[in-house]
Amino acid sequence: MNLVLQPDQKADVVARAEAQFAEGAYEDALNSFLSAASLDSMDLTARTNAAVCLERLGRWTEAADLLQQTLETHPASPEALMGLAICYLHLENPGKALEALEPLYAATPVPGRARFAKAVALQLLSRFEEAIEEYREILTSEPDSAEVLANLVAIGMATAQEPLTREYSERLISLQPESTSAIRGLAACALWRQDYEEASRHCGSLVELVPEDTNAWFNLGISLLRSHHPLEAAKAFLEAMRLRCDKAQAAAVIAPALRQCGALEDARACCEQGLSEQPGNTPLAMVLAGVLEEAGDAETAAQQYTKVLMVQPENTEAWFRLGCLRLAQEDPRTAFEAFQSAVRLRPEWLEALLNLALSSWRAGDLEEARQYYGEAVRLHPGSLEAVRGLAGIAIELRRYDEALDLHGRLIDLGDSSAELYFNTGLLLDKTGQREDAVRLYREALALNSQFSEALLNLGHVLKALGREDEARAVWLQAAHSDSCSVDSVQPLRSGAVFDRLS
């Protein structure tokens, strides 16, 4: 709001107030205008100008109170209403600002300042479509209003409207080539389109103009990482980390990004820096454990997961990762305990159930492994891995009829690998179903014509059936590859560790 000149310039107090205001001495000008208002309780101009001084001093609540008092005696004062609306906007009360502006909309035409203030209030209330309409109305008479264009860019970014953001960013940058609002908008558009090369150019321009902008550095890192420039990306992420005051919160975001860049040492240092500020930050401790795990420091990673679990024993992810590490270290019993804790907390977690079964299997407890694979199948009937596990256990227990049924179930579930058909053929052969064994070996060979073990075993079955000419033909084909006859059924991928989380 601007100063309103007194119609009567004779009063020394008013002249002094106006001079003080012009010099920027707003506190002195405030006292002088209040003195003038005290001499005449109906002096609208003195009160309004005192409110302007309060606004310049950032004392928005006091300014609003004074303008409210002014409106009690002058309810239709445009200056008081406009000033009150501005105060409410600064006080983050856009609803009250709209109420103050409502009388001004009765004028024809609507004052431009009132329309802009209303658009800002609507924007703060997230009534974006109405705000856009008001801003566009302003642009019909002020097409080069940088402030309006910047606010439209902000709405476009807040609502992820790429065409809107691009349109007004391009208009704004044509007026102000170094407009940070326009550059941010263009960078956002490029990121939405996944044009990371262009995004990195805009973000690079932004950090040159505003080198302390943490978000710009972070977005630059993302753009460089996804446009396959990991070293430059890591530098950008580290700069974002350096600028952030809240190191722990920043590290929780930046360390995983550094990890994606392959900068594991930097990611570790980033986590440790954050944890030195907030030792009890469990999410960050989990990030550090993951970084250590990826760097190959399995034992330190396991210790880190154990520390997390001491503070947060219900952390299922920590139990799961600890189990995976112990299983990889060939410690199946400790792994079993970790996976058992994960399953106790999340009984239907498929990957944890599968790894729990695998831990039992590797510890030599086949019946226990069978129990957990069975539970996985009960809860997830369509799980190929669970059925494979049961089939593998059945084979080790020499329950070939059961294993054969399970292999048939795998086929029904859509597993059509050459290895599965080969295993099924072996099982059929062992249970005396040789004609069916021939059919399954041929299914395997249809998928992999150079599957030498299938060729050799097919020859053996054909010979046993008295079809020696066919047997010699397939053996001749097998002779062109290094192979040996397979006389035991091999479980299909039943020993895989499932290290993904769900």
Long-range contacts of 108-115 (CB under 8 A, 24+ apart): 111/78, 111/82, 112/138, 112/141, 112/142, 113/82, 114/82, 114/85
Contact between 73 and 42 (Cβ < 8 Å): yes
Q: Rounded CA gap, 486 and 473, in Å?
A: 18
Side chain identity at residue 3, one-letter code: L
Query: Residue 111's pLDDT band (boundaries 50, 70, 90)?
Result: confident
- pLDDT over threshold 70, residue 142: yes
Mean pLDDT for the stretch of residues 238-265 = 89
Q: Rounded CA gap, 71 and 269, in Å?
A: 60
Q: Which of 229, 223, 221 is nearest to 197 (CA)?
A: 223
State the average pLDDT for the chain: 89
Mean pLDDT for the stretch of residues 100-117 = 86
Mean pLDDT for the stretch of residues 140-166 = 96
Burial of 334 (0-12, 13-18, 19+ CB in 10 A): middle
- The reported pLDDT for the residue numbered 481 is 61
Query: Residue 487's pLDDT band (boundaries 50, 70, 90)?
Result: very low
Angle at which helix 196-209 crosses helix 180-192, to 10 degrees, equals 160
Query: Residue 470's pLDDT band (boundaries 50, 70, 90)?
Result: confident
- The reported pLDDT for the residue numbered 27 is 95
Q: Rounded CA gap, 98 and 88, in Å?
A: 9
Query: Residue 11's pLDDT band (boundaries 50, 70, 90)?
Result: low
Q: Rounded CA gap, 240 and 270, in Å?
A: 11
Angle at which helix 162-175 crosses helix 180-192, to 10 degrees, equals 150
Q: Rounded CA gap, 309 and 21, in Å?
A: 63
Query: Residue 3's pLDDT band (boundaries 50, 70, 90)?
Result: low
Contact between 301 and 268 (Cβ < 8 Å): no
Percent of the chain at pLDDT > 70 equals 93
- pLDDT over threshold 60, residue 75: yes
Q: Which residue has the higher pLDDT, 41 or 442?
A: 442
pLDDT digits (tens, 9 = 90+) for 351-375: 999 999 999 999 999 999 999 999 9
- The reported pLDDT for the residue numbered 125 is 96
Mean pLDDT for the stretch of residues 266-283 = 92
- pLDDT over threshold 60, residue 473: yes
Mean pLDDT for the stretch of residues 246-271 = 89
- pLDDT over threshold 60, residue 178: yes
CA 452 to chain centre: 47
- The reported pLDDT for the residue numbered 492 is 42
Residue 371 has phi, psi (to 5 degrees) of -60, -45
Q: What is the largest CA-CA distance in the chain?
A: 129
Cis preceding linkage at 109, omega within 30? yes
Contact between 288 and 255 (Cβ < 8 Å): yes
Say how many C-beta atoms besides its own lie within 10 A of residue 179's C-beta: 20
- The reported pLDDT for the residue numbered 482 is 53
Q: What is the DSSP string of 22-73?
A: HTT-HHHHHHHHHHHHHH-TT-HHHHHHHHHHHHHTT-HHHHHHHHHHHHHH
CA 240 to chain centre: 17
pLDDT digits (tens, 9 = 90+) for 388-439: 899 889 888 888 888 888 888 988 998 888 888 888 888 888 888 999 889 8
Q: Which domains does the chain have, with CATH numbers?
A: 1-143 (1.25.40.10), 411-502 (1.25.40.10)
- pLDDT over threshold 70, residue 304: yes
- The reported pLDDT for the residue numbered 30 is 93
Q: The pTM is what? A: 0.63
Rg (C-alpha) for the chain, rounded Å, is: 37
- The reported pLDDT for the residue numbered 356 is 96
- Token pair listed for 308: 């997390």
